[in-house]
């Protein structure tokens, strides 16, 4: 027989006072990448056009995706390969890439301009891919109760840096490349400090079956990522081409992203206990359905506002991707670079498809209205199907592990080592906490087989009922 196991994402959230600010260093490279993709402050002279901005985005995304796939393949085979890459080389690639993009409009023309933009975008994309996977690997080594605060906090700091640098570049007439160049350096210093913080012996190579099981548990997230990324890319490109400016199309959306990031961070801190961030993105689907239902009526009048709403939705969803990727890597004791790299690469691929659809739709203004109506109908259909799929997956989980034998043998996943690094925990788990943790990993069907609770009629789920906890301890001794 086999037992369905649903990994718990609930638990006590770490206190903000116990967090280390260096783990927010991913916000600096995140802000640098958003300034490269979602604004035109780096483009000058002849290069400051929506077409060249789209070229920079497409080439950077392709280089980013290629880097993630390549390094993930090497790390999956031999985890020690990640340490062989020099992080300063990728940091230098980002700085050289954004500098080349900034100088291309003023120094080159014609074919030289296109070549300079392509080269700079490729260099920056390679660096961003390495940093994304490296930070996913770092977050995958810590308990999810800490990641649930670091991910929203980093997103909030990212939006603050984006708006601050954009305002400084426009008001103080400071070259944006001088403001952006320190960002990857600061992120790298934080990344190096985080890696050295809890350094330990390199873990043995994870079995391929473990990676497959980890990715299988993320199938609902991957499907949601493909849908949301494609729709976000479509709204992104149509807004840029509608207002003929990447900066104008993404200026107000980033303000709304700041509000959404602040609200999400406050929500996580205020929840404190029993938070389930991994399923929060289900709340975003009805909002997206309403959004694409009204897009055909307002896209010619308010394209920036529609893009702002979609950008805020995708910003919150991006935080959920960070959290779920890191939590899955921690649960299955696999490399966060591999799991996060694959999910991120698929997200980039879907976003490129959405950008391509948006570009083709806006290429012919005569048929743009009818094409957008068709795309919105398809988007509503996909979102409804996605909502049904998530509901069906939650009701009928498909992840199976072998059930315990009658002699009390332990399930291998229940007794796997939880800490991959020497985390500086204030104390060890008590017997009661360990018992509660074990109870959360049991399916509801198995809980019901342990007997009904007379005091709360079987609705306690093992949180306060000593009778059912005692039955669990006798049947599954520690």
pLDDT digits (tens, 9 = 90+) for 269-293: 777 555 666 667 777 888 888 888 8
Among the listed ranges 16-25, 31-40, 72-81, which one has the minimum average pLDDT value?
Answer: 16-25
In which band, very low, low, confident or very high, does the pLDDT at 208 lie, cut at 50, 70 and 90? low
* Predicted model pTM: 0.75
* Average pLDDT, integer, range 345-371: 85
Would the pLDDT of 11 be above 90? no
- Give the model confidence (pLDDT) of 403-453 as tens digits: 434 444 444 443 444 444 333 444 455 655 566 555 555 555 455 555 445
The residue with greater pLDDT, 284 or 131, is 131
Straight-line distance from the first to the last Cα atom of the chain, in angstroms, rounded to the nearest whole number: 22
Among the listed ranges 7-11, 362-366, 384-388, which one has the minimum average pLDDT value?
Answer: 7-11
The two tokens of residue 240 are: 């840029």
Contact (CB, 8 A) for 159 and 257:
yes
Burial of 478 (0-12, 13-18, 19+ CB in 10 A): exposed
Would the pLDDT of 463 be above 50? no
In which band, very low, low, confident or very high, does the pLDDT at 246 lie, cut at 50, 70 and 90? confident
Would the pLDDT of 402 be above 70? no
Q: What is the mean pLDDT of the chain?
A: 76
Q: What is the reported pLDDT for 216?
A: 86
Max distance between CA atoms of the chain, in angstroms, equals: 80
Would the pLDDT of 62 be above 80? yes
Among the listed ranges 77-81, 346-350, 369-373, 410-414, which one has the minimum average pLDDT value?
Answer: 410-414
Burial of 328 (0-12, 13-18, 19+ CB in 10 A): buried
* Average pLDDT, integer, range 467-478: 46
Give percent of the chain with pLDDT exceeding 70.
73
Cβ within 8 Å of residue 115, ≥6 positions away: 108
Among the listed ranges 54-68, 213-227, 232-246, 441-455, which one has the minimum average pLDDT value?
Answer: 441-455
Q: What is the reported pLDDT for 279?
A: 66
Would the pLDDT of 307 be above 70? yes
* Average pLDDT, integer, range 98-121: 87
Q: What is the reported pLDDT for 95?
A: 93
């Amino acid at each position: 027989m086999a037992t369905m196991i649903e990994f718990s994402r609930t638990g006590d959230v770490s206190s903000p006072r116990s967090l280390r600010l260096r783990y927010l260093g991913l916000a600096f490279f995140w802000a640098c990448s958003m300034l490269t993709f979602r604004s035109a402050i780096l483009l000058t002279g002849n290069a400051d056009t929506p077409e060249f901005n789209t070229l920079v985005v497409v080439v950077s995304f392709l280089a980013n995706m290629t880097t993630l796939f390549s390094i993930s393949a090497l790390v999956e085979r031999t985890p020690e390969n990640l340490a062989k890459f020099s992080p300063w080389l990728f940091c230098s690639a980002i700085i050289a890439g954004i500098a080349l993009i900034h100088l291309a409009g003023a120094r080159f023309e014609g074919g030289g301009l296109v070549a300079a933009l392509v080269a700079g975008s490729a260099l920056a994309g390679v660096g961003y891919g390495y940093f994304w996977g490296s930070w996913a690997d770092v977050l995958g080594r810590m308990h999810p109760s800490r990641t649930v605060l670091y991910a929203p906090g980093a997103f909030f700091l990212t939006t603050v840096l984006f708006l601050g640098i954009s305002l400084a570049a426009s008001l103080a007439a400071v070259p944006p490349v001088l403001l952006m160049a320190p960002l990857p350096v600061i992120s790298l210093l934080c990344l190096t400090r985080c890696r050295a913080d809890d350094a330990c012996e390199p873990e043995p190579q994870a079995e391929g079956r473990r990676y497959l099981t980890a990715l299988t548990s993320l199938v609902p997230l991957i499907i949601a990522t493909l849908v949301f990324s494609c729709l976000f890319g479509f709204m992104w490109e149509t807004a840029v081409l509608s207002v003929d400016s990447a900066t104008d199309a993404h200026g107000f959306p980033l303000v709304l992203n700041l509000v959404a990031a602040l609200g999400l961070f406050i929500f996580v801190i205020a929840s404190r206990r029993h938070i389930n961030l991994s399923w929060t993105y289900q709340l975003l689907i009805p909002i997206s359905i309403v959004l694409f239902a009204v897009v055909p009526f307002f896209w010619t009048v308010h394209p920036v506002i529609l893009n702002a709403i979609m950008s805020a939705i995708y910003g919150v969803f991006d935080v959920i991707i960070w959290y779920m990727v890191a939590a899955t890597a921690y649960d299955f004791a696999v490399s966060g670079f591999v799991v996060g790299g694959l999910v991120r690469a698929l997200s980039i691929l879907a976003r490129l498809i959405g950008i391509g659809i948006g570009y083709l739709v806006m290429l012919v203004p005569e048929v743009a209205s009818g094409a957008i109506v068709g795309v919105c109908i398809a988007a509503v259909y996909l979102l409804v199907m996605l909502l049904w799929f998530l509901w069906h997956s939650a009701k009928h989980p498909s992840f199976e592990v072998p059930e315990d034998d009658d002699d009390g043998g332990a399930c291998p996943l229940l007794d796997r080592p939880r800490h991959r690094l020497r985390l500086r925990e204030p104390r060890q788990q008590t017997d009661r906490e360990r018992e509660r943790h074990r109870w959360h990993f049991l399916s509801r069907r198995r809980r019901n087989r342990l007997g009904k609770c007379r005091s709360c009629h079987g609705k306690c789920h093992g949180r306060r009922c000593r009778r059912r906890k005692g039955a669990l301890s006798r049947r599954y001794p520690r």
